[in-house]
């Protein structure tokens, strides 16, 4: 009986020690630092292609960067010139835009400087030489969208029916040919200089570019009404 009791006692002590050892092992596991999971890799979003082709602009300035007041045509006020002032539609802060035509030439002038009334004059200008201060716009203006200068390289002004209006002021009719179209416009001009054989005249007139088929009748970024100013020295043809 005593042996059985002793045996049971030993088994109980063994089980207790085993259970105690398991608890210690579990405690050690709980105290061990947790393993770090590898950080997830970040994926950059796809890059946008900024070099994609932009839609072609129908603006006479093309797609050039926005210009400022420095990008304007220049006029030598001391010599002969033909200039046109226009604006955007709708208007922009840099308006008005000045367009200067080169190659101005007096083909013929028949008049008496002492009596200008009744005289006539024929003047030519070069539609392939257009300056507005912006190169891309100049190229657009000479294209088929506007003056079609390759097909119609020259413009002409025939001054006729000259009548005196006042001191050095005169009225006249002008047959203007641009873009293959001829229109007769009523004009006024002033004689600013005069000698025995020549006079210098300055005249300004506003007209509708659509009358000459220049640009689009609707939806064009250039306003329909333009103002032209001509200064030219006329020497009487003998």
Determine, yes or no, domain membership for 230.
Answer: yes
Determine, yes or no, domain membership for 46.
Answer: no
pLDDT, position 167:
87
Instruction: Tell me how many domains the chain contains.
Output: 1
The Cβ of residue 39 has, within 10 Å, a number of other Cβ atoms equal to: 6
- Which of 21, 206, 52, 199 minimizes the C-alpha distance to 121? 199
Give 7's DSSP letter. H
Determine, yes or no, domain membership for 203.
Answer: yes
Determine, yes or no, domain membership for 142.
Answer: yes
Q: How far is CA 198 from CA 57, 160, 175, in A?
A: 47, 17, 22
Strand partners, 228: 84, 205
pLDDT tens for the 238 residues of the chain, in order: 444 445 444 444 444 444 444 444 444 445 555 555 555 555 565 565 555 555 555 555 554 444 445 578 888 889 999 999 999 999 999 899 999 999 999 999 999 999 899 999 999 999 999 999 999 999 999 999 999 999 999 999 999 999 999 889 999 999 999 999 999 999 999 999 999 999 999 999 999 999 999 999 999 999 999 999 999 999 998 6
Is 226:83 a contact under the CB 8 Å cutoff?
A: no
The Cβ of residue 102 has, within 10 Å, a number of other Cβ atoms equal to: 13
What is the spatial distance between Cα 119 and Cα 74, in angstroms, rounded to a whole number? 31
Is 99:27 a contact under the CB 8 Å cutoff?
A: no
Supply angle C-alpha 153, 190, 81, rounded to 5.
Answer: 30
Residue 101 sits in which domain range?
A: 81-235
What is the spatial distance between Cα 162 and Cα 189, in angstroms, rounded to a whole number? 10
Determine, yes or no, domain membership for 56.
Answer: no
Beta-carbon contacts of 57 under 8 Å, excluding residues fewer than 6 positions away, are: 63
What is the spatial distance between Cα 75 and Cα 231, in angstroms, rounded to a whole number? 11
pLDDT, position 72:
81
Determine, yes or no, domain membership for 61.
Answer: no
What is the spatial distance between Cα 37 and Cα 226, in angstroms, rounded to a whole number? 75
Q: What is the pTM of this model?
A: 0.71
Determine, yes or no, domain membership for 6.
Answer: no
CATH number at residue 175: 2.40.128.110
């Amino acid at each position: 009986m005593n042996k059985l009791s002793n045996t049971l006692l030993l088994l109980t002590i063994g089980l207790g020690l085993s259970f105690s050892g398991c608890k210690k092992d579990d405690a050690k596991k709980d105290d061990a630092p947790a393993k770090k999971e590898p950080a997830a890799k970040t994926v950059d979003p796809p890059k946008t292609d900024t070099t994609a082709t932009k839609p072609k602009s129908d603006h006479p300035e093309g797609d050039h960067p926005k210009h400022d007041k420095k990008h304007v045509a220049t006029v030598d006020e001391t010599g002969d010139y033909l200039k046109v002032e226009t604006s955007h539609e709708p208007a922009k802060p840099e308006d008005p835009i000045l367009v200067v035509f080169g190659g101005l030439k007096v083909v013929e002038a028949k008049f008496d400087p002492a009596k200008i009334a009744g005289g006539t004059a024929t003047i030519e200008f070069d539609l392939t030489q257009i300056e507005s201060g912006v190169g891309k716009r100049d190229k657009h203006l000479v294209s088929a969208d506007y003056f079609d200068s390759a097909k119609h390289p020259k413009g002409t002004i025939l001054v006729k029916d000259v009548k005196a209006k006042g001191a050095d002021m005169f009225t006249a009719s002008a047959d203007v040919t641009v873009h293959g179209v001829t229109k007769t416009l009523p004009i006024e001009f002033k004689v600013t200089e005069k000698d025995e054989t020549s006079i210098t005249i300055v005249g300004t007139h506003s007209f509708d570019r659509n009358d000459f088929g220049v640009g689009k009748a609707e939806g064009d970024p250039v306003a329909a009404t333009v103002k032209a100013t001509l200064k030219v020295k006329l020497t009487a043809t003998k």
